[in-house]
Amino acid sequence: MTPAAAPPLAPPALTYACDVEDVPLGEGRALTLDGRRIALFRSFEGWFALDDACPHSGGPLADGIVCDHAVICPLHERRFALATGDALTSDDEAATAHEVEVRAGRVFVAVAAERSAAAAA
């Protein structure tokens, strides 16, 4: 008898973050969603969300410079990919990335599990 396969994990629920006009193009905003501090970015490539605290030293990524496909932390100039949270300029830990959806002028974020919690599972 073969063991039953585990059911797939349900995707995180979408949480309303803001209206599209609340974040100017090329900027980020910090907000708290589901008890987590999230940096929400609007770039020329679309909408992205990362945990707001830089994994290197806790700097506020929402206050960083958004350029191309990355954000630059304002404290120590570490760069992180907006889409994945991967560190681009060092061997630092990646920032946790969150799925973003825009529907009828409203922005929603699916808050992901923290990377350290996800890696332990």
Question: Residue-wise pLDDT tens for the chain (121 aa)?
Answer: 555 665 555 567 999 999 999 999 999 999 999 999 999 999 999 999 999 999 999 999 999 999 989 999 999 999 999 999 999 998 889 999 999 999 999 999 999 987 654 444 4
pLDDT at 92: 84
The DSSP annotation for 1-27 comes to: -PPPPPPPPPPPPEEEEEEGGGS-TTE
pLDDT at 68: 82
pLDDT at 11: 60
Start-to-end Cα distance in the chain: 27
Q: Which residue has the tokens 């990377």?
A: 115
Q: What is the DSSP letter of 115?
A: H
Residue 33: strand, helix, or coil? strand
Residue 118: strand, helix, or coil? helix
Q: What is the DSSP letter of 58?
A: -
Distance CA 63, CA 74 (A): 7
pLDDT at 3: 57
pLDDT at 2: 56
**CATH value of 14-116 in 2.40.128.20, 2.40.50.140, 2.40.30.170, 2.102.10.10:** 2.102.10.10
> Global pTM?
0.85
Residue ranges per domain, the chain? 14-116
